[in-house]
Each structure stands twice: as structure tokens, then as C-alpha cells.
Structure 1
């Protein structure tokens, strides 16, 4: 009897060994699956029925709720939206239901023009007489010129003997004296928006010196840009002569109990 021997190729042996050892193709499935099969898998696993083409752009639809009418969709819905009120009848402007009372307090609206009724504006002139009687404030000769809610103008008198620095072109005002005047103006303008029982402390101060100042009268103009519960963000300019700005300063002022 003749026996027919068939030798398997090396590729078949390698495939058998790979299956025995548990090896598998670790490549991404996308290169190994056709595009048509990929779309079929998306419909099954991702619950996608129709995939828009590359040139298709979905158009936003606006829902219009009319009294006693069905909701309408369409490209011209935004024109109909203009005639509707900004707040629905069942909702207030602050987002709360119109029929339900809430403990939330309304936001406090502070008017910068009502300076006569605010504590800080009324108390600052009297307190500044005490502050400017001694210490560094008295050394630079500061005086209040204008006081308003969130605004303040302060002047200082610098002398060559007390605040000067010698140079080849004559004495100039030391930068520390200019920074002191700016700091005093920033802390004082923050006090104009303070509540009763609060005082101000400088938490952060940044100053840019633009040009040298000669001994004499310097004017600091300060404003409050923003105030939170504990902090005030202020800025000021120090000028000499006809509005020649010699320095610009920014500060974060903290409110503490007096």
C-alpha cells in the first residue's frame, strides 16, 4: 500500500503555534475592517442610524413656545423669538420660580453717585485730620483735595531736604516718597467704599515710575475699580505740574475690623 505524505508549509505551522500560545493581532480594528463594515458596527454599537456626509452641516433649530400653540421649528424661528419676553412667565429675572418665595437676597446695587449717604465718604475727612497729624502721612504733607464714592484726589508736598535725592542735574524726589503718596491715596480711596466698622490695609502694591519728579507739589488721583466683600482693587496716578504723570500704581486693599 502506498502512503501519501503531505508536508504542511511553515506558515501553517506558525499559525497553529500562534493559536496555541494565545497570540492575536494587536493592530487597531479600523485598518483591518472595511469602511462598509465599520458603518454597520457603528449602527449597532453606537446607536447611530445615519451618519451625515462631509459636506452636510447640521442647522440649529430654535423651539418657539406660543400660548396654546404647538412648538415650531424652522430656520426663521429666531425672528419670532424677538417678540417674546426675555423671562418666561413662570420664571423671574434671577432664575427663581415666580410663584415660590426664596431666602436669597437680591444683589446690592451700589451707585457711585450717591456719595452723601455712604459712611466712608462722610467719615474720611474727619479721620484724615487725625491720621495726617503725625507719622509718615505728616512727613509727606498730604492733604485731601476731593473725596467722592470710589474717587479721591490727594496732594503731597515734597522737599529736597526731607524727600530729595541728589543727582548731577539737581535733587529729585525719592521713589520711596512717591510710593508712600500713592499708597496713601489707594488706601484712602478704598475707605470711601468701606462700611461702618471697617478699616483698610494694603495687601499688595505695584508701582511703575515713569519719569523723575522735582521737589514740590505732587497730586495723586485714585479710583476703585472693583470691590468684593473683603478686597478692593484700586489704581492711582501721581502727577506733577500740568498733568505730567510721574508714576502709576495699582493695589489690592483688604478690609478688616476697625
Structure 2
């Protein structure tokens, strides 16, 4: 039997945008995931400030949330985003890696609920916070 964390790892590795954005899986466990995205000038949304585009941050957060669902012992082998609300708290500091920690905190028969925080080197001041709902698809 395949370990649920292996399924989540495969999910992340198979996503072309994860490779394009340089996402790296840092940790994964039962419903908890940390994924990082290194600073890349190609992802800058404001050339004057060097701040990473919010779309890259949202892709990182969505990927981490989906992987958290897939790694949850009560979830399933597949998921899709139903709803994801992201509140941007401040711009990420140019030159710094952005890291998202996501936690799947509740699973029903068909929906999983997730919360996530994105930070740069200053972990006391979030770059963004998210909460979302994801599908739960089980085998058989």
C-alpha cells in the first residue's frame, strides 16, 4: 500500500507550475505540509520594488493546501480546490524565499478544510494567510 505522504509528494512533483516556480517540498506529515519558493527575478510583479507577484504567492499557497489535504490520513488520493481565500498582509521582502505552511484541520466525507500561512525570513510577520475548502476523493 502506498503511503499517503508519497501520494502528496508525487502530486507536487507532477505539477508543471511547481517546477516553473521552483517550489520545493520541505516537510510533509499527517495533514501538514511546508513548501518553499525561492526568490526569482522572473517572478517579480513590480520591477521598481522587486516584490514577487501575488499570483506566484497564491500558486504556492494553493499547492501547499492541496498537498496538506492529500497527506491527511482521513482524506483521499485526489483533491481539487473548491474555495481559497488569501489575505495578503504585506509584500514579501525581495531576495528572500517564501515559505508556506499548510494544515488540513478538518475533513468531512467530501470536503477538507485547510489553513495556511506564507512567510519570508521574518516569520513573525506573515506575507499572506489563507483558508480554503478542497474536495476529498477517495478510492473505491
Alignment partner of 1:145 out of 18, 21, 26: 26
Aligned equivalent of 1:165 = 45
Q: What is the SS of the residue equivalent to 1:224?
A: strand
Instruction: Tell me whether 1:154 sits opposite 2:38 in the alignment.
Output: no
Structure 1 portions without partners, runs of 5+: 1-116
TM-score normalised by length of structure 1: 0.48
Larger Rg: 1
Alignment partner of 1:221 out of 101, 109, 114: 101
Structure 2 Cα separation of the partners of residues 147 and 257 of structure 1: 20
The correspondence of residues 83-162 of structure 1 with structure 2, limited to 5 A, is 119-125=3-9, 127-128=10-11, 130-132=13-15, 135-160=16-41, 162=42
Q: What is the SS of the residue equivalent to 1:245?
A: coil
Q: What is the SS of the residue equivalent to 1:249?
A: strand
The correspondence of residues 1-258 of structure 1 with structure 2, limited to 5 A, is 119-125=3-9, 127-128=10-11, 130-132=13-15, 135-160=16-41, 162-166=42-46, 168=48, 170-193=49-72, 198-213=77-92, 214-243=94-123, 244-256=125-137
More strand by share: 2
Structure 1 Cα separation of the partners of residues 75 and 98 of structure 2: 31
Structure 2 portions without partners, runs of 5+: none
Give the C-alpha shift of residue 227 in structure 1: 0.5
Alpha-carbon deviations, 1:133-191, whole Å to 9, x = none?
A: xx21111111111111011111112312x2102254x2111010000000000000000
Runs of 4+ displaced beyond 3 Å:
194-197
More RCO (CA 8 Å, sep 6+) = 2
Q: What is the SS of the residue equivalent to 2:68?
A: helix
Per the alignment, do residues 179 and 190 of structure 1 end up closer, same or farther by CA in structure 2, a change over 3 Å counting?
Answer: same
Structure 2 Cα separation of the partners of residues 150 and 167 of structure 1: 37
TM-score normalised by length of structure 2: 0.86
- Is this contact kept in 1: 2:75–2:112, CA < 8 A? no
Per the alignment, do residues 253 and 241 of structure 1 end up closer, same or farther by CA in structure 2, a change over 3 Å counting?
Answer: same
